[in-house]
Amino acid sequence: MTRVYLAGPDLFVHDAVNIGRRKVELCARHGLIGLYPLDNAIDPAAKDTSLRIYRGNENMMMEADAIIANLTPFRGPGADAGTVYELGYMAGRGKLCLGYSNDPSSYADRMRKFSDVNSRDGRLIDALGLTVEDFGLSDNLMMIHALDLHGCALVTPRQAPVDIWHDLTAFETCVRMAAGRLASTHAGAKS
Amino acid sequence: MTRVYLAGPDLFVHDAVNIGRRKVELCARHGLIGLYPLDNAIDPAAKDTSLRIYRGNENMMMEADAIIANLTPFRGPGADAGTVYELGYMAGRGKLCLGYSNDPSSYADRMRKFSDVNSRDGRLIDALGLTVEDFGLSDNLMMIHALDLHGCALVTPRQAPVDIWHDLTAFETCVRMAAGRLASTHAGAKS
C-alpha cells in the first residue's frame, strides 16, 4: 500500500494529535497510508529532541511515495517554513507532490493586510521597500510551481472555511487525487 | 569547477542585481562558481513568467553541487519561503547544504516581537494559540538540522550587522566552508 507524508503546521494547533488522526483516517478511506509527523515516537525529555524529530520526519519522507502539504498561511502572509522545507525535500527526491491552502487569496492581496504595499518603478514593495511577488499566485512561485510540475496544482476552496485549521475538505481533495495518481503509477509499474 | 546555488530573499531587495554580483565575486575568490537566480534570462513580459523562473531556478539547482541559503528572517519571524523550498530541494537531492542568517536571535525570542507569546500546558503559544517552537534554535528545526546533517551548521554573526541585507560576512564564511568541503569531496572522488 502506498504511503503519503502529511506535512503542515497542523502540528502547532492545540489538538494536533486529533487532526492527525482524522487525516490518517481520510487517507485510509482512499486506500492510502498517511504518515503524520507526530506519530514519530520522540521522548520530549531526551537530549537532542529537535534533532530526533528531524530524523524521524526525514525517515518518514524517505518511506513515503508522496507528500500532501498544508500550505495554509501560518504566522504571516505565507506558508509554514517547516512544511515548505518538506515540500522541497520531496520534490528533490522525485516524489509526487500535492498541497492545499485553506486561504484562496493571492499572496499580494494577503500582503496588503500585513503591510503598507505600494507600487514603485513597476514593482510592488512592502513598508521596508522589499519587493512583493505579484504573479497572482497563492504564495511564493517556487512552491506553487513545484506542485504544478511535480504533482498536482494547489487545491484551494472558493471561500476560506470558517475554521481554517480543522476543515479538511481541500485536504481530502488532495487525498483523492493522490490515490488516483499513485494507483495509475503502480498499475503502470506492474504492466 | 564546482557550482554553488545562491538562494535567498536578496532577490527582493531593491539592488538585488548588485548583491548577486558581489556574491558571485566572493565565490570566484574562493574558486567556486556562484549561480544566482536573477542570472536566468527571463523575459518579464512573457506568458508564464513565474513558471519560467521556477524552471530556471530548478535547472540551476540541478547543475549545482551545493547551496548557500540566506535564511535571514524575511517578512515575519522566519526565513523566506522560496529559499526554504530550495534548501529542501537540494537536501532531497543529496547536495551539500549551507546557510546563514544575519539575525543571531532564537526563533522564540524573535516571535516575542511579533506576537504576545505565553506559556500554557508546558508549551509556548502565540496570540492565536498556535505553538511556538522553542528548542533555542534560530528557526524551524527542519532547516536548522537539515544544515547540520546535510552540510554545515547555520552561520550567524554574534550581533546582527547594521545592514542585514548587504553585509556578506556570514555569507563569505559559508563560501569558505563550501570551498573546503567541495575541494575535499572532489579530491576524494579523484583518488
- Specify whether A99 is located in the same domain as A109: no
Residues in B closer than 8 angstroms to A164, CB to CB, are: none
A47-87, pLDDT tens digit by residue?
899 999 999 999 999 999 999 999 999 998 999 999 999 99
The whole-number pLDDT of residue B190 equals 54
A163: phi then psi, degrees, rounded to nearest 5: -110, 95
- Specify whether B28 is located in the same domain as B121: no
Residue A41 predicted with pLDDT over 80: no
- Specify whether A57 is located in the same domain as A23: yes
**Tell me, what CATH number does A52's domain have?**
3.40.50.450
- Specify whether A129 is located in the same domain as A167: no
* Mean pLDDT, chain A, integer: 93
ipTM: 0.95
CB A72 within 8 A of CB A101: yes
- Specify whether B94 is located in the same domain as B164: yes
The whole-number pLDDT of residue A188 equals 63
The whole-number pLDDT of residue A45 equals 74
The whole-number pLDDT of residue B188 equals 62
Contact B50 A137 (CB under 8 A): yes
- Specify whether B125 is located in the same domain as B68: no
- Specify whether A86 is located in the same domain as A110: no
pLDDT band at A191 (very low <50, low <70, confident <90, very high): very low
The closest CB to that of A57, out of B49, B75, B142, belongs to B142
Contact A92 B89 (CB under 8 A): yes
Which residues of chain B carry a pLDDT beneath 50? 191
Running DSSP on this structure, what letter comes out for residue B133? Answer: P
The whole-number pLDDT of residue A157 equals 97
In terms of residue numbers, what domain contains B163?
Answer: 3-103+140-190
Running DSSP on this structure, what letter comes out for residue A7? Answer: E
The closest CB to that of A81, out of B92, B135, B139, belongs to B139
Residues in B closer than 8 angstroms to A53, CB to CB, are: 141
Distance of alpha carbon B167 from alpha carbon B174, whole angstroms = 13
The whole-number pLDDT of residue B191 equals 46
- Specify whether B71 is located in the same domain as B57: yes
B142-168, pLDDT tens digit by residue?
999 999 999 999 999 999 999 999 999
CB B38 within 8 A of CB B56: no
Q: Which of B59, B62, B89 to mutate to test the interface with A (most CBs of A within 10 A)?
A: B89
Residue A120 predicted with pLDDT over 80: yes
- Specify whether B83 is located in the same domain as B12: yes
A141-179, pLDDT tens digit by residue?
999 999 999 999 999 999 999 999 999 999 999 999 999
Domain count for chain B: 2
Contacts for B122-125: CB closer than 8 Å, 24+ residues apart: B125/A14
